[in-house]
Amino acid sequence: MKEIFCIKQNIKNAIVAQINSISGNNNKNEKFEGVTKMMKIKIIGLLTVIAVLIAAGCGIGDSKKHESPAKPEKIIVQAPTAPPTTPLFKFAKDGVLNGAKLELIIYKSVEEATTRIAKGEADFTVLPLNVAAKLYNKQVDISLANVSTWGILYLLTTDSQVSNWQDLKGKELYVGAQGSSPDVLTRYFISKNGMKESDIKLAYLNSPEIAQLMINGLTKNAVLPEPLATQVLMNNSRARLARDFYEDWQIFEGKDARLPQAGMVVRNEFARLYPAAVTEFQNVYKSAVEWTVANPAEAAPLARSNMNIAESVFIKSMEKTHMFFATGTEAREDVHTYLSRLLDISPDMVGGKLPDEKFFLAD
């Protein structure tokens, strides 16, 4: 406003100077004797109109400069029944985020989630990282906004003779759905331990079914994610953890390597239209993740009421869940390593190639 005042003042001074010039010349120069009072009035009127138009234009520019960033009316988030979803319940319960309506959808299958993404019906989606990469490589317009799940897989056994991967030779091992990340990571560790896949009798079911088999003593060896691993340990006294996938990953990839398994993608059109809303969402989710990790007992009721996970199971499972927030950019190196290993074993897992740099949402 101060700048506009100065412009108006300068215009006013210029008008006065012009009028004085006209008046002065009329007295001194015969050429201006024909300039009538009416002409002077017209000149003054014209200069005034110009001044008003210029000032108005400056006012418009100033208002645009201070214009508030665009805000979405609604934000749609979808997530599975899994650890990284719990923080969402903390700030989604009110149904509003910074003035925008917030809708949280719990999907039952990855296929359901990817269909909704393809139709542009979800703004943020929690996904296994290989699925996110595969969608991106299929030209789906998404970017990796963050990673929050860094290792939730374990090798469980009731066999006293099993303590490492080599001990599984000739034995049956149940693994979640063939071609899924638990399957490919299991095959990665089999290979890294100097064995062939044929050395172990791999059997496939979905993870909840495997957990029930183990609880009922119908299988001895299984790969399970949290919180199912904890559920088995709490319901079968013979069951124990033989291997931690996160720790084994560091054995082969380096002690500072992290095992990124699930993250959140954002619809790129949403990110382009509402960059401030994306930043706000990232910050709020980060705080909620940190709160969940620091306060599992307080977060447990959210897991029970929204995902039907017993509070005691949730609290114990958080002790074995590697969960922390990192933006897509911050997680780039670990994600690249992880996807590279999946690509080596099963190219179709990531869509036949590594995603390029645009896959990672810029901070």
Are 187 and 200 in contact by the 8 Å Cβ rule? The answer is no
- Burial of residue 47 (number of CB atoms within 10 Å: 0-12, 13-18, 19+): middle
What is the helix (H) or strand (E) element at residue 96, kind and residue range? strand 96-97
| Residue scoring higher pLDDT (293 or 41) | 293
Average pLDDT over residues 237-265: 97
pTM summary value: 0.80
Measured in degrees and rounded to the nearest 5, phi and psi for residue 259 equal: -105, 90
Q: pLDDT of 302-326, one tens digit each?
A: 999 999 999 999 999 999 999 999 9
Q: Any residues with CB less than 8 A from the CB of 221 and at least 6 apart, and which?
A: 155, 156, 157, 158, 159, 162, 168, 171, 172, 173, 174, 242
SS3 259: coil
Amino acid residing at 65: K
Indicate the angle between helix axes 311-318 and 228-235, nearest 10 degrees: 110
Please tell me the CATH superfamily of domain 74-148+260-309+324-331+352-359, with its number. Periplasmic binding protein-like II (3.40.190.10)
CB atoms within 10 A of CB 296: 19
Q: Residues 40-91: pLDDT tens digits?
A: 555 455 445 444 444 444 444 444 445 677 999 999 999 998 877 999 999 8
- Average pLDDT value for residue range 167-194: 94
Distances in whole angstroms, Cα of residue 86 to Cα of each of 206, 208, 233, 306, 345:
22, 19, 21, 9, 32
C-alpha to C-alpha distance for 218 and 232, rounded to whole angstroms: 12
Q: Is the confidence at residue 137, as pLDDT, over 60?
A: yes
Q: pLDDT digit string (tens) for 155-178?
A: 999 999 999 999 999 999 999 988
Strand 100-106 vs strand 74-79: parallel, antiparallel, or unpaired? parallel
**The pLDDT of residue 358 is above 70:** yes
Instruction: Please tell me the distance from the alpha carbon of residue 117 to that of residue 134, in angstroms, as a whole number.
Output: 13
Q: Is the pLDDT of residue 12 over 70?
A: no
Asked if pLDDT for residue 251 goes beyond 90, the answer is: yes
| Beta pairing partners, 201 | 172
The phi and psi torsions of 260 (rounded to 5 degrees) equal -80, 125
Share of the chain above pLDDT 90, in %: 75
Per-residue tokens: 247: 């720790």
- Whether the CB-CB separation of 226 and 154 falls below 8 Å is answered with yes
For domain 153-253, which CATH number applies: 3.30.420.40, 3.40.50.2300, 3.40.50.300, 3.40.190.10?
3.40.190.10
Q: Can you tell me the distance from the alpha carbon of 283 to that of 350, in angstroms, rounded to the nearest whole number?
A: 28
> Long-range contacts made by residues 52-61, C-beta under 8 angstroms, separation at least 24?
54/7, 54/11, 55/4, 55/7, 55/8, 55/11, 58/3, 58/4, 58/7, 59/4
pLDDT at 83: 76
Six-digit token pair at 161?
């003779």
Flag whether pLDDT at 26 surpasses 50: no
**CA–CA dist 354, 344 (Å, integer):** 11
pLDDT digits (tens, 9 = 90+) for 207-220: 999 999 999 999 99
